[in-house]
Amino acid sequence: MKELDLSEGHSTGVPTIQGELQKNGSPRAEFFTDEDRRAMRIRIPIHPAFLNMQENETSFETSMKQVLKPKDFDKLKLVIGELEKKDVITIQEVMEITKKSRTTAWRYMQILVELGGVGAEGNTNNMIYRVKK
């Protein structure tokens, strides 16, 4: 949660989680505890854009714009556009499009994979990324 900028760490991030979800247009998170309040579960609902992606013919770019932070969308816009055209991309292509290092290109693609809009296939050296339908 902390790495996704959804919490602050050290059990102080509930307001941050709710605030980030609100900025993203997502429904509020729900928190559940056991009777003795020794453990907690959190339910973060799926963003409506991903549900709409499955129901409608929403473009991949439109869906990504709705769920990504603006700064991440700006970084990934060219990559998302390429994925919209051909549904599959390699790290080498991401490097060429963004003019960034292999590590940065991989980090960009991890953002899309973690959101669930893109799947990774293959091994480390021959990884391809495909839009999930």
pLDDT given at position 94: 92
- Name the β-bridge partners of 109: none
- Name residue, tokens 């990884």: 127
- 9, burial (CB in 10 Å: exposed 0-12, middle 13-18, buried 19+): exposed
pTM beyond 0.85, yes or no: no
Token pair for 69: 């932070």
Mean pLDDT (10-residue bins), the chain, 133 residues: 61 77 84 84 80 57 75 85 88 91 89 85 86 79
Say yes or no: 63 and 36 in one domain: no
pLDDT given at position 25: 79
Say yes or no: 41 and 63 in one domain: no
- CATH number of the structural domain spanning residue 110: 1.10.10.10
CA dist 108 and 43 (Å) reads 26
pLDDT given at position 57: 46
pLDDT given at position 24: 76
DSSP code per residue over 46-71:
PPHHHHHHHHS---HHHHHHHHS-HH
b (16+ CB within 10 A) / e for 56-73: eeeebbebbebbbeeebb
Say yes or no: 126 and 72 in one domain: yes
101 within some domain: yes
Say yes or no: 27 and 71 in one domain: no
Containing structural domain, residue 17: 1-45
**Alpha helices, DSSP H, located in the chain:** 14-24, 48-55, 60-67, 70-86, 91-98, 102-115
pLDDT given at position 3: 62
